[in-house]
């Protein structure tokens, strides 16, 4: 039996007609940039995030970049984040000219450990960028308290955690702004690239609206340098079809996670830890195991999809050599990078598929 890490065709089969007619509607109008579909989708996403404003962007990466630019973060500034994340988080900080400053993660949640933040704050620190990894929000209360004390902005990288909650609050509604990605493998995935910045800050919202369009406030009048960070209406139309299914899809992932948790209980497999403060959307189901690399080989040879998120922590990437970090600086992240592996968790998995994954993992490890 083959079990892919993600099967987007299974999801597409359930909404194909709606997607085709929504896309066709945009094509018939030939309004291919901006317009009512983008406006409608922004309003809908702001609402599900319990926020006032949302600005569609060309990707999650551009959502992060545009937010940093809107907050005037650049040369000479420092932004605190985690080394255990997708590259875009720190890549965007570096692209503004600012310096990414890393803080190690909590070994249970894999999210930034708030206890390490205060020690790295300097006069140049402008913002903290917590990343809500794998679908679970960071421990935000201590992060917001530190940000308040030092007057720092908080940019939530919620690219893996749309509609996830922390103490009843939605991702993106806790910090200064939150960034979402609609990359196809995210819980709310487009038919190509897309992203969004969500915020309650009206000034930031207005800045983002023109920054995503080359900083153009009135036609051909530019007060600030922006970029082409716009969300396509074809993406907005497809995502508007998918959004009403998001809760049911995320619940399917949570149910699958509970199923795996039960089957792996009492074995050498360490299942994901979800804080009682959080409701995860399980963008990934990441286990920690002995003999991780051998298991990866074995699963791949057995036609079971799996992947490592992430094999090289960002402080050890060549492109950040000038930050002068070294092996051993963030031991919790480095160990997680060696011991964790993501298993298939998408909602359309059948019980037979999950049983096969569990059996293949346990037969190999035990």
Ligand X SMILES: *Cc1c(COP(=O)(O)O)cnc(C)c1O
89 lines the binding site for ligand X (CB under 6 A): yes
Half-sphere exposure of 246 (CA within 13 A, CB side): 23
Torsion of CA 262, 264, 267, 270, to 10 degrees: -110
Residue with the CB atom nearest ligand X in the bound state: 60
183 lines the binding site for ligand X (CB under 6 A): yes
Annotated catalytic sites, by residue?
186
Give the nearer residue to ligand X in terms of CB position, either 157 or 360: 157
41 lines the binding site for ligand X (CB under 6 A): no
Helix (H) or strand (E) holding 342: strand 340-343
Q: In residues, how long is the chain?
A: 366
159 lines the binding site for ligand X (CB under 6 A): yes
Half-sphere exposure of 185 (CA within 13 A, CB side): 9
Give the nearer residue to ligand X in terms of CB position, either 131 or 241: 131
C-alpha to C-alpha distance for 258 and 238, rounded to whole angstroms: 30
156 lines the binding site for ligand X (CB under 6 A): no
Residues near ligand X (CB under 6 A), total: 15
Least distance from ligand X to the Cβ atom of residue 95, Å? 12
Helix (H) or strand (E) holding 69: helix 60-70
Beta carbons within 10 angstroms of residue 36's beta carbon: 13
195 lines the binding site for ligand X (CB under 6 A): yes
Contact yes or no for 365/291 (Cβ under 8 A) = yes
Stretch that binds ligand X, among 1-9, 86-94, 102-110, 284-292 (CB under 6 A): 86-94
Contact yes or no for 130/81 (Cβ under 8 A) = yes
Least distance from ligand X to the Cβ atom of residue 176, Å? 17
**146 alpha-carbon distance from chain centroid:** 23
161 lines the binding site for ligand X (CB under 6 A): no
Beta carbons within 10 angstroms of residue 181's beta carbon: 30
181 lines the binding site for ligand X (CB under 6 A): yes
Stretch that binds ligand X, among 53-61, 110-118, 249-257, 297-305 (CB under 6 A): 53-61
Beta carbons within 10 angstroms of residue 61's beta carbon: 23
Give the nearer residue to ligand X in terms of CB position, either 211 or 353: 211
C-alpha to C-alpha distance for 355 and 262, rounded to whole angstroms: 11
C-alpha to C-alpha distance for 73 and 75, rounded to whole angstroms: 7
86 lines the binding site for ligand X (CB under 6 A): yes
Give the nearer residue to ligand X in terms of CB position, either 92 or 358: 92
200 lines the binding site for ligand X (CB under 6 A): no
135 lines the binding site for ligand X (CB under 6 A): no
131 lines the binding site for ligand X (CB under 6 A): yes
Q: Is 185 helix (H, G, I), strand (E, B) or coil?
A: coil
315: left (phi over 0), alpha (psi -120 to 50) or beta: alpha
One character per residue 265-304, x = contact with ligand X (rule: CB under 6 A): ----------------------------------------
Stretch that binds ligand X, among 56-64, 115-123, 229-237, 244-252 (CB under 6 A): 56-64
Least distance from ligand X to the Cβ atom of residue 189, Å? 9
SS3 content of the chain, % helix, strand, coil (to 5): 45, 15, 40
Stretch that binds ligand X, among 36-44, 84-92, 141-149, 164-172 (CB under 6 A): 84-92
Least distance from ligand X to the Cβ atom of residue 57, Å? 9
* Residue with token string 């896309």: 23
Q: Which residues bind ligand X (CB under 6 A)?
A: 59-61, 85-86, 88-89, 131, 157, 159-160, 181, 183, 193, 195
């Amino acid at each position: 039996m083959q079990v892919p890490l993600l099967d987007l065709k299974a999801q597409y089969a359930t909404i194909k007609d709606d997607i085709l007619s929504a896309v066709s509607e945009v094509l018939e109008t030939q309004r291919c940039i901006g317009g009512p579909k983008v406006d409608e989708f922004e309003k809908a996403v702001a609402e599900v995030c319990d926020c006032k404003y949302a600005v569609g962007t060309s990707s999650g990466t551009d959502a992060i970049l545009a937010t940093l630019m809107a907050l005037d973060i650049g040369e000479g500034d420092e932004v605190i984040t985690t080394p255990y994340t997708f590259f875009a988080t720190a890549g965007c900080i570096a692209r503004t000219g600012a310096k990414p400053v890393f803080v190690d993660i909590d070994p249970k949640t894999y999210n930034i450990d708030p206890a390490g933040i205060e020690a790295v704050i300097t006069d140049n620190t402008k913002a903290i960028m917590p990343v809500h990894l794998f679908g679970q929000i960071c421990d935000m209360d201590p992060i917001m308290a530190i940000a308040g004390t030092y007057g720092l902005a908080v940019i939530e990288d919620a690219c893996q955690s749309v509609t996830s909650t922390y103490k009843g609050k939605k991702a993106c509604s806790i910090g200064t702004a939150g960034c979402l990605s609609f990359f196809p493998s995210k819980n709310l995935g487009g038919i190509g690239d897309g992203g969004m910045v969500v915020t309650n800050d009206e000034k930031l919202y207005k800045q983002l609206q023109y920054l995503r369009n080359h900083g153009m406030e009135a036609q051909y009048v530019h007060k600030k340098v922006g970029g082409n960070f716009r969300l396509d209406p074809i993406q907005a139309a497809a995502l508007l079809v998918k959004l009403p299914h998001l809760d049911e899809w995320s619940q399917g992932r949570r149910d699958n996670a509970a199923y795996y948790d039960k089957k792996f209980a009492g074995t050498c497999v360490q299942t994901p830890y979800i804080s009682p403060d959080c409701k995860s959307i399980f963008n990934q189901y990441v286990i920690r195991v002995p003999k991780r690399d051998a298991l990866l080989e074995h699963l791949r040879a057995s036609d079971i999809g799996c992947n490592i998120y992430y094999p090289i922590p960002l402080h050890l990437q060549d492109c950040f050599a000038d930050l002068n970090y070294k092996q051993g600086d963030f031991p919790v992240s480095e160990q997680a990078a060696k011991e964790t592996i993501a298993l298939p968790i998408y909602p359309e998995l059948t019980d037979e598929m999950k049983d096969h994954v569990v059996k293949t993992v346990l037969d190999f490890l035990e």
